[in-house]
């Protein structure tokens, strides 16, 4: 699959280079003539440009590596269980769960804990009112 993708990329670059050169030559020829003050590109150059961009897009998509599913909880669990990941070897590398510092900071508000506390307060105040 990579050979076909690389082939499409090379062909796309060749066609795009030819389209750009043709547009440049056309603009030079159109600027020398006085009959057309606003030169427009011929249809063949426009189609060649669009075709080359399409080939390049397909080639880039085919040559990209497979996407991995986004499952942060699985990745963070592996990082916390791995002994190598717990060792901080350099800045920004290793150290376990990268979000642990956010969850353990002093200003972190525990929503579930606050809900339990509020529910307990409501039960207590409801019993006091009766």
Cα-Cα end-to-end distance for the chain: 75
pLDDT of residue 16: 97
Query: Which whole number is the average pLDDT over 91-113?
Result: 64
Which residue has better confidence, 111 or 16? 16
- The residue ranges of every structural domain in the chain are 2-63, 72-125
- Of the candidates 46, 61, 43, 55, the residue with the CA atom closest to the CA atom of residue 9: 55
Neighbours of 52 (CB within 10 A): 20
Which residue has better confidence, 13 or 91? 13
Band of the pLDDT at 38, cuts 50, 70, 90? low
Residue 105 has pLDDT above 80, yes or no: no
Band of the pLDDT at 68, cuts 50, 70, 90? low
- Of the candidates 49, 44, 62, 56, the residue with the CA atom closest to the CA atom of residue 20: 49
């Amino acid at each position: 699959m990579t050979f076909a993708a690389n082939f499409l990329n090379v062909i796309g670059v060749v066609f795009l280079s030819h389209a750009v050169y043709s547009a440049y030559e056309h603009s030079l020829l159109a600027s020398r003539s006085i009959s057309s003050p606003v030169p427009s590109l011929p249809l063949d150059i426009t189609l060649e440009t669009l075709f080359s961009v399409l080939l390049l897009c397909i080639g880039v998509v085919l040559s990209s590596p497979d996407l991995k599913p986004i499952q942060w909880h699985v990745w963070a669990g592996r990082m916390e269980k791995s002994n190598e990941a717990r060792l901080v070897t350099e800045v920004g590398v290793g150290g376990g769960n990268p979000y642990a510092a956010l969850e353990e900071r002093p200003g972190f508000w525990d929503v579930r804990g606050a809900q339990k506390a509020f529910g307990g307060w409501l039960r207590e105040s409801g019993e006091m009112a009766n």
